[in-house]
Structures are given as structure tokens and as C-alpha cells.
A and B are shown apart, each in its own frame.
Chain A
């Protein structure tokens, strides 16, 4: 992971920890905790300032919207990456299959046409610049 992202992650973790501590203080508040609460509130503001400073370093990081759907469902975002790669691989295989099928069809068609229309097929292949003797 790059340094700016690591810094941002650390800063966010510290911020969340601050919030958690404020939650603990507030859940069973005691008068002597008022000063601590005030300090924590100011540390929250400081945390927000730090995060705001880091935003310029991560401007070029693009996150796909579909990842947000995974996160909103409470799912692991690494599963999105895994699903993406699997989809890409499947599509690659699909397209490769189509290309291979079309190539085989072209070869078969040329073979049959050369038997039925030999002269025209020769003309066609020379116009295409194909090697007449090469099997397509």
C-alpha cells in the first residue's frame, strides 16, 4: 500500500479510536470527566483537520462505485476484487472462444467456397493479400 494511503488509514484509525473513547465517557458520564470530554472533542477536531490535510495526497485514487455496494452490505471489499478478476477471466475466455470460432468458420467457409467458386475465391484472397497457399 502506498504511503499516503497508509497515513490516511492510520489517521482514520486514530479518529475512530477517539470517537470510541468519547462514546465510553458519555455512556456513563461523571462530572470529573468533563475536562477529559472537552479534550477529546478538541482532539476530534484535530483529527478532522489532519484527515483534511491528507485528502490532497489521495486525489488520484479512484474507487469504483460497486465497492461501495459491497461495503454497504457489510461484505468484504476484497471479494469485489476477486469477483472482478473472475469476471474478467471469464469474459476473456468467452471472447477467445468467439474469436476462435469465427476463425474456424472463416477457414471452413473459404475451403468450401474454393471448392465451389475457385476463381472467385482466388480473386478474393489475392485482393485481401492473403497467401493463396496458406490455410486460413
Chain B
């Protein structure tokens, strides 16, 4: 009874004594310290066990640790030179690489510069969901190939994909050429007047650039037509100015008719020169030449 009472008193004393090993949950045992893995070297200490376990530092200084071993290769060395990559580095840093994939693979057809997410053709998707493989690759027999019998004719529009390569930057030169042509045409209207139409009214200037971006193909067709027209007109002019051509006189008169200033002259001399008449003999040719010269002299005044 007295022993149990003393034990109880001792217990109560323990509970009420603050900052004492007896009040700790582990009693008089050393506290548990989470062990942190220290990779900077071994600590020169000695641990003495027994009734009073202690940690004694045997090194000359507190927290005196052994240094890690010296290594030849550190970040202080030029690693490019160490691994013989200087040449490769100079090659990659000096050369200007184009950003597009098509510049790396010029032989591949189609549009390869588009991101893989748009048409579900990304390499990432193949890594995440690899296709089922491991099966034997066998040639198809005639009955299996019968499944590939197609209907004749073109594909519907929804399945047609443009196989054209992306538009190259060389078109900028064409744009400059177009704008220069337009400026020449506008300034050099002269006698030709409305007979030869002005090409691409919206082609010059900044407004035309946005128009051209939207309707490039249409412009190309228009330009080709205009070039053909110009060539024909040039040919006609050359033929007009040649004296041997039977229709030369008629063409000169018609040009003068188009010019408003000379319209009255054209009317006046319409009876003199009849364009539908065919020329016969050299005499008539000479006469017509003289008439033309006279008309030209009068108009020049």
C-alpha cells in the first residue's frame, strides 16, 4: 500500500515537473532527432554509449567535416572543349537555321509545317498511345485487294487536301514588279487612252497588298491575261506602223478617232481614207502614204 502510494506520488511529481526528462514522453531517453542525410562529408565525432550517451566532437573544430574528393571535371572547366564539341557548337551557332520543318526535310511532299495537333498527326500522340504492332506484314491477295476497288472520278471537295507546297517568299518580287507596271501604265496613258485598260486598280499601295493576299490566284490569272493583251497590242502597233500592212492606214485613223482632240479631224478625213478598201497596185500605195504624211503633219500642228 505504501509502495503503491509512493509510486503514485512519484508519477504525479513527474507529470507536474516541467522541462525535465521525467516529464518527457520518452522518459530519460534521448530525444529522437530526424536524421538528415548530410552528403558534404563525414563528421569527425565519437559517440559514447552507456548510462549517459553523449556525442563528442573529436575534430579540432565544431562541425569539422572531411572535404569531398577532388574531381578533375567540374563546372569550372570548358566542357565543350573537354567533350570535343567546339566544332559542332561553332557550326550550329554560326549557321542560320530556318525555323520551319520543311527546311530540314525539303524532300517531303505536302504541308509539313503545320502543327501536329491540328490534324492529329503528332509524334506525342504516338508515344502516349502507341499503335498496335507486332503483327505480321503480309502482302494482300486478290480477294483482299478487291476491297480497294474505287469509283472513277475526282474526290469530293471535302476530302481534297491541297497538295501544293506553301507559297514561297519570291512573290514579293512579283508584287514590286506589278506595282512598277501599274505606275508606268498610269503615267503613260497618252494616245492609247481607254483602248488599253489599266491593270489592277487596287494593286498599288498598301490597300492592294491586303487585296493581293486574299485573291492571289485571281490576280495571277488577270495579270496573265493582261500580259497577253499587251503583247497582242504591241504586235498590232508594230504592224500598224509598218507601211506594207494593208490595215495600217485604218488602224492609224481609228487611233486618232479615239483621241477626242483629233475626232473632228478623223471625221473630216474619213472620206479620204476608206479602211475597208483593199489596196491594189503600187500607185495606190504611194498615194495613201502621201495622204498619211499630210494628215500627220496637220495633226502635229
Please tell me if the beta carbons of B114 and A37 are within 8 angstroms of each other in the complex: no
- A residues less than 8 Å from B137 (CB atoms): 45, 48-49, 52
User: Could you tell me which residues of chain B, from 96 to 145, have a CB within 8 Å of some CB in chain A?
Assistant: 97-101, 103-104, 107-110, 112-117, 122-124, 127, 137-140, 145
**Complex Cα distance A80/B152, Å?**
46
**Complex Cα distance A48/B133, Å?**
12
Please tell me if the beta carbons of B89 and A89 are within 8 angstroms of each other in the complex: yes
Whether A104 is near chain B, meaning CB under 8 Å from some CB there, is no
User: Could you tell me which residues of chain A, from 37 to 53, have a CB within 8 Å of some CB in chain B?
Assistant: 37-38, 41-42, 45-46, 48-49, 52
- B residues less than 8 Å from A5 (CB atoms): none
- B residues less than 8 Å from A98 (CB atoms): 75
Which stretch, B59-67, B223-231, B262-270, touches the partner chain A? B59-67
Please tell me if the beta carbons of B104 and A78 are within 8 angstroms of each other in the complex: yes
Whether A60 is near chain B, meaning CB under 8 Å from some CB there, is no
**Complex Cα distance A46/B114, Å?**
29
Please tell me if the beta carbons of A74 and B115 are within 8 angstroms of each other in the complex: yes
Please tell me if the beta carbons of A41 and B150 are within 8 angstroms of each other in the complex: no
Whether B154 is near chain A, meaning CB under 8 Å from some CB there, is yes
* Interface of A (DSSP majority class): helix
Whether A75 is near chain B, meaning CB under 8 Å from some CB there, is yes
Contact with B along A49-85 (1 / 0, CB 8 A): 1001000000000000100110111111111011001
Closest to B44 in A: A127
- A residues less than 8 Å from B79 (CB atoms): 88, 92
- Residue in contact with A85 in the complex, picked from B76, B92, B112, B163, CB distance below 8 Å: B92
B15 to chain A, nearest CB (A): 47
**Complex Cα distance A95/B123, Å?**
35
Please tell me if the beta carbons of B89 and A95 are within 8 angstroms of each other in the complex: no
Q: Which positions in A face B, CB cutoff 8 Å?
A: 13, 16-17, 20, 23, 26-31, 34, 37-38, 41-42, 45-46, 48-49, 52, 65, 68-69, 71-79, 81-82, 85-86, 88-89, 91-92, 94-96, 98-100, 120, 123-124, 127-128
